[in-house]
Structure 1
Amino acid sequence: MDRTDFILSSDSARLGRDTRQLARRAAAGELRRIRQGVYAPAAVWDALKFWDKYPLLVQAAASTLQNRTVFCRASSAALWDLPVLGRSLLVHACTFDDRGGRSRAGVRRHFADAGLLQVDERRGLLVTSRLQTVLDLAAFESFEQAVAALDHVLKPQPGLAPLSKSELDAGIGTNYSASAARRIRAALDFADAASGSAGESVSRALMHRLGFQSPTLQSEVFDARGFAGRPDFEWCEDRLCGEFDGLVKYQKPEYLQGRTASDVVIEEKRREDRIRATGRRVIRWTWKGISCSARFGAYLSAMGVPRQTRPACRH
């Protein structure tokens, strides 16, 4: 689905049609009201995964705004295909009015200095640059969101070169307050290109915040037959491995690589069995498991994940 599938009440009005008909079709379940004045076919919208809906919400907002707008923060991040945590429906856009930002019709405005703003175009919309978008997330969002975004951009992505830590640090400049710059640098120091997914990044950031020892990422485990597997996390002195199970590996084509979800589950089970046979324990968690930091911390403690009382092992 793309924005050409949207049905705009403004188009209906321009053609002399009764715009109330759209509301009646939505009430009947034929359409979904995406935002004020924007509808989509219900069957098409409902078939989308949650991670595919938010960029469309941004595009829907753009279709109803009178002036061409520069989108920022989570909205720009979604258009850059950066991991965006949570399921907020709020769209974020820049304003050059120094009286500050405000929310209206689901769009939150953030003040931006026009002389410092770095603007690019993604999916036909104006957005803050990839570098500025990541720094803004690190400055104004949670540590977990910052780490997820930074880990992502440190690796090459389809059609996009990686950003280096030195580039990101240089981008801070004098564009942020001292406290925001500290938050950015704390996340930047912690960021690691070895992280395999947003869920792994969030898990690691939570471990750090909760006082657990930093694990080795993507370590290689060998058995008598050779390479056995590469767990997401390993605390080698404790012979303990951790695995984050996200939905994407069972749903997105780029992860399935021609396999069925069942194939992936079977491969994961065989890999884990071989890792366990080396004498290591393997613990697992999902997005639900990290949705509550206190519950995640209690789980890690119960499973014997070491606290920050000794330096993490290095391979």
Structure 2
Amino acid sequence: MTANEAFPVRLEDIWLRRELIDREWSDRDIARCVKAGLISRVRFGAYVDSALWSAASDLHRYRVRSRAVLRTAHESSVLTHQSALAEWDVPMWRIDLTEVALTRTDEKAGRRESLIVHHSGRLPLEHITLRHGVPVATAARTAVEILSVVDLELGLVILNGLLNLRRTTPEEVARLARQTEHWPETLNTRVALSLADSRLQSVAETRFVYLCYRQGLPRPEPQVEVLDESGFLIGVVDFLWRKHGVFLEFDGRIKYEIYRRPGETLADYLMREKRREERICQATGWVCIRIGWADLENPTATARRILKLLASRGAPAA
């Protein structure tokens, strides 16, 4: 799930009940329009045009609900945690979009009610920004917040997503992490920063780095350019163990959707990929190992397969 699709619902497209009443609508009028399919109820007391709502993805609907909550919340409220993350345009892999997360800058005690989490804690002004016209936690603050409430693999995916899109920097995240050392699960943040790499371009690539970390595999170089004898670019490999002469490539539909050329069929793309791989192997003497999403779900077997290949190439595998 990604957030960078065109967002179809503007802040002013959300109508609150009190605003409709001010325009001389009655509750019966609102109910009739909902029943007739003219407007859709986003949450209690908030509505949008049904055409906009039906065109919205699950992520966009979550962003609309977050905005609706923000419009009825205390004026000091700011979107934080997963609700802020949804505004930073990173892949929302495995992020729970059930609850809207807010933090009040007046430092009132936190509470949970009706699928809304009011987080407690200090939120300085320098940790707040406007994103798409909505007050949200900065990207660095959002990264640290997410890392404190999710597992390391997911937190690393989010951190690398923010770094790759240049929403923040490792230095900014590390500086904020030092300011929040009293938070729970700060170890996750320290480990994630040690593994973070802005060159990682996808969820799958970050998950593979995490697999290497957990399974004790030597850490490969990501996004390595391969040149021919004349210095022309042959291609870029996803990961390389240079000492072993082994490179790794991901298979998958997402890669095909990103890198296929206009009018190119799946068969054409696969043939072009095969020729690219052959040219790289011929030019370098390296060997290729390919994995897919399913291999990431079976990390022990995948690591064993890779270690076997690395060991067969002469250099020590770990």
TM-score, structure 1 normalization: 0.75
Task: Pick the aligned partner of 2:163 from 137, 154, 166.
Answer: 154
Task: After TM superposition, give the deviation of residue 275 of structure 1 in Å.
Answer: 0.7
Q: What are the residue-to-residue correspondences of 1:248-267 with 2, within 5 Å?
A: 250=257, 260=262, 262=264, 266-267=268-269
- Structure 2: distance between partners of 1:36 and 1:27: 15
Q: Deviations over 1:274-308 (max 9, x none)?
A: 2146273442424xx48xx6x33266258x22389
Q: State the SS of the aligned residue for 1:306.
A: helix
Shift of 1:27: 5.1
Q: Does 1:73 align with 2:81?
A: yes
CA distance in 2, matches of 1:180, 1:116: 24
Determine which of 209, 225, 230 is the counterpart of 2:214.
209
Residues 5-49 of structure 1, C-alpha deviations (whole Å, 9 max, x = no match): 334333222223233554555455554433222233444334344
Q: Is the 8 A contact 1:38 1:60 kept in 2?
A: yes
- Contact 1:233/1:243 (8 A) holds in 2: no
For the 8 Å contact 1:229–1:271, the answer to whether it is kept is no
Whole-Å Cα distance in 2 between the matches of residues 45 and 260 of structure 1? 31
> Are 2:137 and 1:135 aligned?
no
- Cα 1:111/1:228, change in 2 over 3 Å: same
Change (3 A) 1:91 1:249: farther
Aligned to 1:228: 234
The residue number in structure 2 matching 1:34 is 42
Change (3 A) 1:241 1:3: same
Tell me by how many angstroms 1:190 deviates.
Answer: 0.6
Partner of 1:112: 121
Is the contact between residue 217 and residue 317 of structure 2 (CA under 8 Å) also seen in structure 1? no
Separation in structure 2 between the aligned mates of residue 312 and residue 51 of structure 1, nearest angstrom: 42
Shift of 1:135: 1.8
SS where residue 140 of structure 1 aligns? coil
Distance in 2, Cα, partners of 1:60 & 1:261: 41
CA distance in 1, matches of 2:177, 2:224: 32
SS at match of 2:306: coil
Structure 2 distance, partners of 1:230, 1:170, is 33
> Partners in 2 of 1:197 and 1:265 — Cα distance?
23
Q: Deviations over 1:134-173 (max 9, x none)?
A: 222223322123222332343464xx5x52x333322222
Offset at residue 186 of structure 1 (A): 0.7
Letter in 2 for 1:285: G
Are the equivalent residues in 2 in contact too, given 1:195–1:217 (CA < 8 A)? yes
> Residues 66 and 193 of structure 1: is their aligned pair in 2 closer, same or farther, counting only changes over 3 Å?
closer
Match of 1:6 in 2: 14
1:241 aligns with 2:251: no
Q: Which residue of the partner structure matches residue 60 of structure 1?
A: 68
Q: 3-state SS of the aligned residue for 1:229?
A: strand
- In the alignment, the residues of structure 1 paired with residue 212 and residue 41 of structure 2 have an alpha-carbon distance, to the nearest angstrom, of 39
Task: Say whether residues 1:305 and 2:310 are aligned partners.
Answer: no
Residue 91 of structure 1 and its aligned partner are, at CA, apart by 1.2
Cα distance in 1 for partners of 2:38, 2:263 equals: 31
Could you say which structure has the larger radius of gyration? 2
* 8 Å CA contact 1:25, 1:31 repeated in 2: yes
SS at match of 1:230: strand
Tell me how far apart the structure 2 counterparts of residues 298 and 29 of structure 1 sit (CA, whole Å). Answer: 51
Quote the Cα distance in structure 2 between the aligned partners of 1:107 and 1:113: 19
Contact preservation (8 Å) 1:213, 1:306: no
Write the distance in 1 (CA, Å) between the matches of 2:154 and 2:64. 21
**Amino acid of the structure 2 residue aligned with 1:202:** R
Q: State the 1:269 CA deviation.
A: 4.6
Q: TM-score, normalised by structure 2?
A: 0.74
1:52 and 1:96, CA in 2 relative to 1: closer, same or farther beyond 3 A? Answer: closer
CA shift, 1:188, in A, is: 0.3
The residue that corresponds to 1:189 in the other structure is 194
Distance 1:125 1:178, change over 3 A: closer
Which secondary structure state, in structure 2, belongs to the residue aligned with residue 233 of structure 1? strand
Letter in 2 for 1:151: N
8 Å CA contact 1:75–1:92 kept in 2: the answer is: yes
Residues in 2 aligned to 1:113 and 1:181: alpha-carbon distance in whole angstroms: 16
Comparing 51-60 with 122-131, greater Cα deviation is found at 51-60
Over 3 Å counting, the alpha-carbon distance change for 1:67 and 1:42 in structure 2 is same
1:270 matched residue in structure 2: 272
Q: Is the 8 A contact 2:240 2:248 kept in 1?
A: yes
Q: Deviations over 1:247-272 (max 9, x none)?
A: 4873xxxx679x64846884465134
**Structure 2 CA distance for aligned equivalents of residues 22 and 261 of structure 1:** 47
The RMSD of aligned alpha carbons is 3.9
